[in-house]
C-alpha cells in the first residue's frame, strides 16, 4: 500500500525528543485507511552541533573520532567533547524511541549520511575534505558500514518489533560525481569520482545494512544522475525530490522500478490558498501524471512511499518551522497517499 514517512529532521531543542518521537509515532499511526505510516527516528537539529546530520553520522564511526573545526566536522587525532556530545545525543534519541515505540511492530526508519556525502561534508584532521584522499574515503566507508550495522542492531534490540529501514542520505552524490565541490582553499575543485567508484563506495554500506536485517532507501535529491549508482549498488529503494516533468529522470526511475527498486517520492509542501486550503491535487499529480506518461503500471503506484521535504531554518542544517507545521505536512501527505492509492486501484 502507499505509505508516508519523513527524513528525520524535526523542530525542537533539548528536552523535546520524547515528545517529538511520540508525536511522530502517533500521527503516522493515524493516517487514512489504506495508507501505511513509516515512523522515523527524529533528529532535533535545533539542539546544535552533534544533532546535525554530519555530526550524528560521524558519531557512528568506530575508531574514527571527530571534532568541530573551522569548516565544520573533521576527523580528529583523539576523542573529544564534540564527538562525545554527538554520541550522547544519539543515545538519548534511541532511548526516547524505545520508550515511545514500546510494543510497536512494523516498518521504522532511521537516517544516516551515505559514505560519499559524508566524505564531502567531513574534513581530514589536517587538510581538505575526506573526499580529496582516496584512502581516507575507503577507511571512512568501511567504518560507516560497521557503524550503521551496529546502529541497526541497537534499534532492533530496543524496538524488537521494528522492521528497520535505513534512509541513506546521498544528496551530494551528483556533486561528487560531477567534480564541482571546491577544495579547502576554494581556488579549485575536487576530482570527479567515476560512476563505478561511486558504486563501489556505496555498496559496502548497503550490504552491511542488509546483513543487519534491514532495508535501504538511498536519497539522491532532485537530480537524475545518482539514481543509477544507487540502484547498481543494491538499494532497495531510491528517494527522489520531485518537481516538474523531467523525462530523463522518469525514464531512469521507470528502469529502476522494473528492476524491483521502490520509489520514495519527496514532495514539497502543498501550496495553500485562503479559500481552498492546501492544493493537494497538485502533489498527487507530481507523482501520478509522470508515472502514467512514462508508461508504468498504474497499480504499482500503490508501492510508492511519500516523504515530506522539511523546511530549513536558513542557518546551517537546522530544520525550520514548528512541530504543528511538520505535523500538518505529514497529514497532507497522508491524504496525497490516499489519493494515489485510489488511482492505483481505479
Euclidean distance between CA atoms 145 and 196, whole angstroms: 18
Top CATH class, 3-344 = alpha beta
The answer to whether the CB of 282 falls within 8 A of the CB of 270 is yes
Name the residue with cell 528525520. 8
Amino acid 273: pLDDT: 75
Amino acid 314: pLDDT: 38
Helix (H, G, I), strand (E, B) or coil at 111: strand
pTM of the prediction? 0.95
| End-to-end Cα spacing for the chain | 14
Name the residue with cell 546551517. 316
**Domain boundaries in the chain?**
3-344
Please state, in angstroms and as integers, the Cα–Cα distance from residue 87 to each residue in 35, 58, 82, 266, 310, following that order. Answer: 34, 9, 9, 28, 24
DSSP state of 49: T
Q: What is the pLDDT along the chain (346 residues), one digit of tens a residue?
A: 999 999 999 999 989 999 999 999 999 999 999 999 999 999 999 999 999 999 999 999 999 999 999 889 999 999 999 999 999 999 999 999 999 999 999 999 999 999 999 999 999 998 899 999 999 999 999 999 999 999 999 999 999 999 999 999 999 999 999 999 999 888 899 999 999 999 999 999 999 999 999 999 999 998 878 999 999 999 999 999 998 889 999 999 999 999 999 999 999 888 887 676 788 999 999 999 999 999 999 999 999 999 987 554 333 456 778 999 999 999 999 999 999 999 998 7
Amino acid at each position: 500500500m502507499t505509505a508516508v514517512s519523513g527524513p528525520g529532521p524535526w523542530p525542537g531543542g533539548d528536552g523535546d525528543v520524547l515528545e517529538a518521537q511520540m508525536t511522530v509515532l502517533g500521527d503516522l499511526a493515524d493516517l487514512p485507511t489504506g495508507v501505511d505510516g513509516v515512523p522515523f527516528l527524529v533528529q532535533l537539529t535545533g539542539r546544535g552541533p552533534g544533532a546535525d546530520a554530519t555530526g550524528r553520522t560521524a558519531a557512528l564511526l568506530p575508531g574514527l573520532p571527530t571534532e568541530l573545526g573551522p569548516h565544520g566536522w573533521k576527523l580528529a587525532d583523539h576523542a573529544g567533547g564534540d564527538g562525545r556530545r554527538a554520541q550522547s545525543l544519539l543515545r538519548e534519541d534511541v532511548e526516547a524511541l524505545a520508550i515511545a515505540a514500546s510494543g510497536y511492530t512494523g516498518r521504522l526508519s532511521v537516517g544516516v549520511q551515505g559514505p560519499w556525502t559524508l566524505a564531502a561534508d567531513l574534513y581530514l584532521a589536517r587538510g581538505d575534505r575526506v573526499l580529496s584522499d582516496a584512502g581516507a574515503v575507503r577507511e571512512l566507508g568501511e567504518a560507516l558500514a560497521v557503524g550503521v550495522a551496529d546502529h541497526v542492531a541497537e534499534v532492533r534490540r530496543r524496538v524488537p518489533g521494528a522492521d528497520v529501514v535505513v534512509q541513506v542520505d546521498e544528496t551530494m552524490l551528483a556533486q561528487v560525481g560531477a567534480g564541482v565541490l571546491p577544495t579547502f582553499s576554494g581556488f579549485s575543485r575536487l576530482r570527479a569520482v567515476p560512476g563505478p567508484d561511486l558504486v563501489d563506495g556505496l555498496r559496502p554500506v548497503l550490504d552491511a545494512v542488509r546483513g543487519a536485517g534491514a532495508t535501504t532507501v538511498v536519497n539522491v535529491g532532485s537530480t537524475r544522475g545518482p539514481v543509477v549508482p544507487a540502484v547498481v549498488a543494491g538499494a532497495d529503494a531510491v528517494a527522489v525530490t520531485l518537481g516538474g516533468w523531467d523525462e530523463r529522470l522518469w525514464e531512469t526511475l521507470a528502469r529502476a522500478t522494473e528492476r524491483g527498486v521502490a520509489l520514495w517520492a519527496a514532495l514539497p509542501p502543498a501550496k495553500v490558498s485562503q479559500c481552498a486550503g492546501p492544493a493537494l491535487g497538485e502533489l498527487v499529480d507530481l507523482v501520478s501524471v509522470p508515472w502514467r506518461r512514462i508508461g508504468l503500471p498504474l497499480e504499482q503506484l500503490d508501492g510508492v512511499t511519500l516523504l515530506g521535504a522539511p523546511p530549513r531554518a536558513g542557518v546551517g542544517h537546522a530544520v525550520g518551522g514548528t512541530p504543528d507545521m511538520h505535523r500538518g505536512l505529514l497529514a497532507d501527505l497522508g491524504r496525497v497517499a490516499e489519493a494515489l492509492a485510489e488511482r492505483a486501484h481505479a
